[in-house]
Amino acid sequence: MRFLALLVCFTLSLVLAGCGQATHPAIATTDISKNRTDAPVAEAIRIHSRIAEDARINGDRATEKAAYEEILAVAPGNLGAILGLANLAGKSGAAEREIEFLTRAITITDKAETRLALAEAYKKLGHYRRARHHFAIGLALEPDNPAHRADYALVLVKLGEKDRAIHEIDRALDHNGAGLRERRLQAQIYKLAGHREGALIAFAASGLGEFAKPAETRVMDEDLGAKPGKQVQQKENSKPSAKNRKNIATTVRIQLGAFRNPENV
């Protein structure tokens, strides 16, 4: 979401910048030949940026993509167009192309949102070492980001760095912005790291809390190697019933008792 917001800001700035140059022809540099060369480029950027923005709002990805490509044809280093194409590639599942554009964007300006988007793209492809590298840089630039920090912890546990993964997921949960998704990832990461008691406690905390929107409550089982179709999803603004809360609490108490006293099982 933050990456999309960054893209929108770049697109709007391009449109406004183009409008400024078009409506103020009296503002010129002393280099007349350069001004004549830049004016058609700025106008092309302004026109195609507006087309791209309208297409994005209307969900017309083909037109949006074509508009960004037109911008890059006259201004190969235009950051807004590069990020726009990266965003479209990510939405279409073309992670390799997304990585290509994001890497290109980083050479122009190194921002946390771009680094973290690049880390997520590498994570989708299973390139965990590269994902770890970019997560570390992105989170150093923007440490208060529980969602990406939780994904960083997931990458670390995939690489066998269990203690560090637990440290990072706990740090993510310490943030006020952490939600049910991060809590459930904490349970999964603790389980993968062999900390069954911690996993059960995290599970209890997520199961007994209020549920947020479906997109935020979906367990990322596909990231953890589970079979497709096993994702847990709750209805918007729903809560577990009193009976379910009691059952969850009882199950956790039994499981924790078995964990601490296996001879009783």
| Range 222-231, long-range pairs (CB < 8 A, 24+ positions) | 223/123, 223/154, 224/154, 224/188, 224/192
Q: Quote the tokens at residue 184.
A: 């459930």
Q: What's the pLDDT tens digit per position in 91-149?
A: 999 999 999 999 999 999 999 999 999 999 999 999 999 999 999 999 999 999 999 99
Tokens 């979906």 sit on residue: 218
Look at residue 205 in the predicted model and tell me its pLDDT.
74
Distances (CA, A) of 123 to 32, 151, 163: 49, 9, 20
Give the H or E element holding residue 112: helix 112-125
C-alpha torsion sign, points 138, 143, 145, 148? positive
Cα(203)–Cα(252) distance, integer angstroms: 8
Q: What's the pLDDT tens digit per position in 208-222?
A: 443 333 433 344 444
Cα(58)–Cα(63) distance, integer angstroms: 10
Architecture of domain 1-13+60-143: Alpha Horseshoe (1.25)
Confidence of residue 198 (pLDDT cuts 50, 70, 90): confident
Cα(221)–Cα(219) distance, integer angstroms: 6
Q: Quote the tokens at residue 67.
A: 């508009």
Q: What's the pLDDT tens digit per position in 140-186?
A: 999 999 999 999 999 999 999 999 999 999 999 998 888 889 988 99
Cα(252)–Cα(3) distance, integer angstroms: 38
Cα(116)–Cα(37) distance, integer angstroms: 36
Indicate whether 20 pLDDT > 70: no
Q: Quote the tokens at residue 22.
A: 């078009």
Please check whether residue 231 is in contact with residue 219, taking contact to mean a CB–CB distance below 8 angstroms: yes
According to CATH, where is 1.25.40.10 located in the chain?
A: 1-13+60-143
